[in-house]
């Protein structure tokens, strides 16, 4: 109990069979390990976002609570979980029947191939099992030293800033990263208070010294004169990775810096999965469907499989189902590149009969989808491959809130509108784009953030709470420039109260 165990011989045979099909189709995957769990174990794993050891935090308990209830009341059931590591771990649920296990295995090989090959995953930590365990151990040590309340409160504050990271960092090669770190060091060197100490001392000691220097004075007494070497504005360019900025420059203690580092690392680990949800699920579903229907299914299992597959593909009016849109889009791409339904000639063809029966017998579909799964993320996937015909076939529409009837209503079935709305919801992994533009705002070491407004206001209550959490770390007033209810405003939290300036 409460531990996953290796799968039995029968399932091992099944794995070999499924893996054979995966090879046949040309999937390229990390070594795959399946483990078996009972429902409670899988609930725990899911509550901890896939890893058996996490740092202690109440939200895992909350997630566990909800998941257990969901299972008990039959609202939700987790069939499988797959973790982006090398070797790739996947957990099967004990009570699944034979067809389910087949389906899940085939699905997992799809995910595994995606993890290994998609470019956005290239820099993820494939030893995350160990890394997570280390994070757990570190946080537990801090809890022993500083007490659970203090540490947990600080974690709460940082979790609140978890989405203030920069998607582009995923793409950095080691070279670029080193270079950036060099520049940062240079920058810090020129501007740090303890630049004499810098050369000889290690990074960790540096953080410590800096925090000591800064916390020596009472925070309320801090004035800009305490930062004599701050250039007129830092940072030089607007920063999206605000967590990193705080880690480097905020007057915090060493353990606090370490916790920011831990949470930031985990946020970046999960980020690729957030920006490839449609593709990843679509790809895995494409392969479970293909492997099952073309190879693995026994005739007696067809009804069960169809039932399960349909359950996964169910469409909703309130949101798009990434499994459904993903699989259909991959199939559409395959079809278009098989028949040549793309390019200038096809697009400019006005004869609908010709267009419909268009077939240049290119047979490039398979090659194309493998290439797509390698280089795209959800945004570019939708941007490049969504077509009016596809939206039509998939019965897609946009909806919006109708203040008169107090409900969300279908707005349009217009291709451009659908595409734009979809892209907007995917931009910056669905989070508002917030940048730190000035850490010496008004020459008072205050933080100025800007929100790049794309037509949708921030949730003011949440924004204010989040600003309080930034204040907790930066310890000087926090300003946020945004557009709210069609007015340009600056929200400000000065440590005591919130105010709005327009």
Which x/- pattern over 155-194 shows residues binding another protein (rule: CB under 8 A)? -x--xxxxxx------------------------------
Please calculate the CA angle 147-153-156 and round it to the nearest 5 degrees.
Answer: 140
- Applying the rule CB under 8 A, the residues between 38 and 97 that interact with another protein are 44, 46-50, 53, 56-67, 69, 76-82
- CB within 8 Å of 153: residues ≥ 6 apart: none
C-alpha to C-alpha distance for 48 and 68, rounded to whole angstroms:
13
Q: Where are the alpha helices (DSSP H) in 254-321?
A: 254-274, 277-291, 302-313
Report, in Å, the least distance between residue 329 CB and another protein.
13
Report, in Å, the least distance between residue 438 CB and another protein.
17
**Three-state DSSP class for residue 464:** helix
- Applying the rule CB under 8 A, the residues between 102 and 121 that interact with another protein are 111
Residue 284's φ and ψ, nearest 5 degrees, are -65, -40
Q: Which strand (E) or helix (H) includes residue 276? A: none
Tell me if 426 sits within 8 A of 415, measured CB to CB: no
Comparing CB distances to another protein, the nearer of 236 and 486 is 486
Q: Of how many residues is the chain composed?
A: 502
Report, in Å, the least distance between residue 21 CB and another protein.
21
- Applying the rule CB under 8 A, the residues between 118 and 157 that interact with another protein are 148, 152, 156
Report, in Å, the least distance between residue 347 CB and another protein.
24
Which of these ranges, 332-340, 344-352, 367-375, 426-434, lies near another protein under the rule CB under 8 A? 426-434
Q: Which of 456, 488, 499, 500 binds another protein (CB under 8 A)?
A: 456
Q: Which of 169, 201, 413, 452 binds another protein (CB under 8 A)?
A: 413
Place of tokens 């795959």: 32
Report, in Å, the least distance between residue 432 CB and another protein.
5
Report, in Å, the least distance between residue 81 CB and another protein.
7
Report, in Å, the least distance between residue 385 CB and another protein.
15
Report, in Å, the least distance between residue 251 CB and another protein.
22
User: Parallel, antiparallel, or unpaired for β 446-452 and 433-441?
Assistant: antiparallel
Comparing CB distances to another protein, the nearer of 179 and 402 is 402
Cα atoms in the 13 Å half-sphere on the side-chain side of 385? 26
Comparing CB distances to another protein, the nearer of 204 and 315 is 315
- CB within 8 Å of 408: residues ≥ 6 apart: 318, 399, 400, 401, 402
Q: Does the footprint of another protein cover residue 303 (CB under 8 A)?
A: no
Nearest CA-CA partner of 292 in 309, 269, 315: 309
Which of these ranges, 126-134, 253-261, 310-318, 333-341, lies near another protein under the rule CB under 8 A? 310-318
- Applying the rule CB under 8 A, the residues between 365 and 404 that interact with another protein are 394-403
C-alpha to C-alpha distance for 72 and 63, rounded to whole angstroms:
14
Per the structure block, which two tokens stand in for 477? 């007033």
Q: In what order do the strands lie in the sheet with 88-93?
A: 5-6, 32-37, 88-93, 80-83
Which of these ranges, 7-15, 182-190, 261-269, 424-432, lies near another protein under the rule CB under 8 A? 424-432
Which x/- pattern over 254-293 shows residues binding another protein (rule: CB under 8 A)? ----------------x--xx------x------------
Report, in Å, the least distance between residue 431 CB and another protein.
7
Comparing CB distances to another protein, the nearer of 122 and 417 is 417
Q: In what order do the strands lie in the sheet with 433-441?
A: 433-441, 446-452, 478-484, 487-493, 498-501
Comparing CB distances to another protein, the nearer of 44 and 333 is 44
- CB within 8 Å of 337: residues ≥ 6 apart: 362, 364, 365, 367, 368, 369
**Signed CA dihedral, 149, 154, 156, 159: sign only:** negative
Place of tokens 């308990």: 61
- Applying the rule CB under 8 A, the residues between 311 and 340 that interact with another protein are 311-312, 314-321, 323-325
Q: Does the footprint of another protein cover residue 431 (CB under 8 A)?
A: yes
Question: Based on the number of CB atoms within 10 Å of its own CB, is 62 exposed (0-12), middle (13-18) or buried (19 or more)?
Answer: exposed
Which of these ranges, 9-17, 248-256, 428-436, 492-500, lies near another protein under the rule CB under 8 A? 428-436
Comparing CB distances to another protein, the nearer of 252 and 458 is 458
Q: Does the footprint of another protein cover residue 483 (CB under 8 A)?
A: no
Comparing CB distances to another protein, the nearer of 86 and 321 is 321
Report, in Å, the least distance between residue 453 CB and another protein.
10
C-alpha to C-alpha distance for 305 and 105, rounded to whole angstroms:
13
Count of positions on this chain that bind another protein (CB under 8 A): 93
Q: Which of 218, 356, 407, 496 binds another protein (CB under 8 A)?
A: 407
Report, in Å, the least distance between residue 70 CB and another protein.
9
Report, in Å, the least distance between residue 176 CB and another protein.
27
End-to-end Cα spacing for the chain: 59
Please state, in angstroms and as integers, the Cα–Cα distance from residue 255 to each residue in 63, 163, 247, 291, following that order: 26, 21, 11, 49
Which of these ranges, 218-226, 232-240, 363-371, 421-429, lies near another protein under the rule CB under 8 A? 421-429
Nearest CA-CA partner of 1 in 39, 35, 54: 39
C-alpha to C-alpha distance for 62 and 273, rounded to whole angstroms:
22
Q: Which of 174, 405, 497, 502 binds another protein (CB under 8 A)?
A: 405
């Amino acid at each position: 109990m409460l531990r996953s165990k290796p799968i039995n011989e029968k399932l091992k045979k099944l794995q070999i069979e499924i893996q054979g099909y995966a090879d046949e189709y040309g999937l390229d995957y990390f070594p795959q390990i399946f483990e078996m769990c009972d429902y409670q174990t899988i609930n725990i794993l899911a509550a901890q976002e896939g890893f058996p050891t996490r740092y202690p935090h109440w939200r895992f308990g909350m997630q566990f609570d909800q998941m257990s209830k969901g299972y008990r009341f039959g609202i939700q059931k987790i069939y499988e979980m797959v973790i982006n590591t090398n070797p790739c771990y996947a957990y099967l649920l004990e009570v699944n029947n034979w067809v389910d296990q087949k389906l899940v295995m085939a699905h997992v090989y799809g995910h595994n191939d995606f993890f290994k090959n998609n470019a956005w995953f290239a820099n993820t930590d494939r030893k995350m099992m160990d890394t997570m365990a280390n994070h757990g151990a570190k946080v537990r040590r801090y809890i022993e030293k500083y007490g659970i309340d203090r540490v947990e409160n600080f974690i709460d504050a940082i979790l609140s800033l978890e989405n203030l990271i920069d998607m582009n960092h995923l793409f950095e090669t080691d070279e670029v990263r080193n270079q950036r770190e060099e520049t940062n060091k240079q920058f810090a060197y020129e501007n740090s208070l303890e630049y004499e100490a810098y050369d000889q001392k290690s990074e960790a000691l540096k953080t410590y010294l800096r925090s000591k220097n800064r916390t020596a004075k009472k925070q309320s007494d801090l004035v800009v004169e305490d930062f004599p070497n701050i250039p007129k504005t830092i940072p030089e360019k607007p920063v999206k990775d605000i967590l990193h900025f705080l880690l480097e420059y905020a007057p915090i203690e060493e353990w606090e810096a370490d916790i920011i580092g831990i949470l930031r690392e985990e946020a970046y680990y999960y980020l690729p999965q957030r920006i490839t949800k449609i593709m990843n699920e679509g790809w895995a579903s494409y392969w479970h469907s293909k492997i099952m229907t073309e190879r693995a299914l026994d005739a007696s299992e067809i009804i069960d499989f169809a039932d399960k597959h349909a359950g996964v593909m169910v469409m909703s009016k309130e949101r798009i189902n990434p499994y459904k849109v993903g699989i259909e889009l991959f199939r559409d791409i395959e079809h278009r590149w098989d028949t040549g339904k793309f390019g200038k000639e096809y697009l400019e063809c006005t004869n609908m009969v010709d267009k419909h029966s268009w077939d240049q017998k290119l047979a490039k579909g398979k090659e194309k989808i493998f290439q797509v799964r390698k280089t795209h993320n959800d945004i570019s996937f939708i941007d490049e491959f969504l077509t009016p015909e596809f939206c039509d076939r998939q019965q897609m529409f946009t909806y919006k809130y109708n203040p008169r009837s107090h409900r969300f209503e279908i707005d349009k079935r217009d291709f451009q509108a659908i595409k734009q709305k979809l892209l907007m919801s995917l931009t910056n992994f669905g989070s508002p784009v917030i940048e730190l533009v000035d850490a010496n705002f008004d020459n008072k070491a205050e933080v100025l953030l800007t929100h790049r407004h794309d037509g949708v206001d921030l949730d003011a209550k949440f924004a204010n709470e989040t600003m309080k959490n930034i204040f907790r770390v930066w310890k000087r007033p926090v300003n946020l420039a945004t557009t709210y209810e069609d007015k340009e405003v600056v929200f400000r939290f000065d440590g005591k109260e919130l105010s709005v300036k327009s």
